[in-house]
Amino acid sequence: MDRVTLSFNHLLELKQLSLGAFMPLDGFMTKEEFISVANSMRLPSGLVFTLPVILGVSEHEFSSIKNNTKTALLYKNKLKGYIYIKDKYSLNLKKYLPIIFGTNDTNHPGIKMYNESSKYFIGGKVEHLDERKKVTKFYNTPKEIKKIIKKNKLKTVAGFQTRNIPHKAHEYLHRLALEKVDGLLIQPLTGTKKPGDFSSNVVLSSYNYLIKNYYPKDKVILTSLETFMRYAGPREAVFHAIVRRNYGCTHFIVGRDHAGVSNYYGKYDAQKLCKKFESEIKIKILSLKGPYFCKKCNLIVTENNCKHSFSKKYRVDISGTMIRSFLKNKRLLDERYIREDIIKSIINKKAFIKNE
């Protein structure tokens, strides 16, 4: 049997595809599927899907494997699954990446990631060999999460995506969502992130502390999403909504600059695109204004309920970037922005992903 060696990101995609987290996809994309998604944000079937899920291979692997064959997928020389090859193809990524990411800047972390990958690809349905002996803490399959939702009798559940530790602006969004729905699925992304981001262990442990100490029992579920950040802004927001629908969510929270990086995307562009596809992807979008701390009101507020939103004197935007900066520079964080006990809960842990 032919073999293909997976990168860590490919391994994560294999898991999610086989679990149904990326439905309607059940395998890595063919060339037709990739081009259709890049150009129209739809699969050839017409179903909405906004980001590529592709399997790059080496030139040697590409030349040896054949269409319509079952090929073994290995990670660190261990068999992890199979792909039933429907298509093998090459791509001129430089043509499509600006369409997907909305910029041709090669410094964009998503574009940089794909530019450093292969130009040869294989597509087809996959099968993952699940090696879990028992349910791992903070890792659940879509089926398992749906069972928890049913057990807790939650008719409506909002999904919350994050890659940062919880701060007061996040808490504001959580509590606002819980006024609108029965439950909340907090699902931090625990795959590959960029250097300088919070480590997955710290993000999960800090959220676990917050939920156990401050949120109502059986209304908030914590689990991880093992995939990688593309930093694709609006397109990635729709992708995240589709994934949360597959995990059993009825609603999805989209705040300020969802899945954005630097200043590549408008503050609420992600909300607009998610709303456009809301009925088709069958999950309601909670378009929430980005909370900030107002020194005049002395509260966490939004543009909808505070008159000082344009005041540099009073407005303090709370973000993961802000919290990371304070912690890296060992500056004291104001408890108006993040709970002191949350910070204490991560002390002595490896907080950040190191530069490679």
Active site residues: 163-164
Tell me if 28 sits within 8 A of 124, measured CB to CB. yes
Nearest Cα to 137, choosing from 197, 212, 64? 212
Parallel/antiparallel/unpaired status of strands 315-317 and 292-294: antiparallel
Rounded to whole angstroms, the Cα distance separating 217 from 342 reads: 19
Residue with the two structure tokens 């000082």:
308
Rounded to whole angstroms, the Cα distance separating 96 from 193 reads: 22
> Residues with Cβ < 8 Å from 273, sequence gap 6 or more?
234, 235, 237, 238
DSSP code per residue over 310-339? T-TTTEEE--HHHHHHHHHTTPPPPTTTS-
Return the number of other C-beta atoms located less than 10 Å from residue 117's C-beta.
16
- Amino acid found at 86: K
Return the number of other C-beta atoms located less than 10 Å from residue 336's C-beta.
14
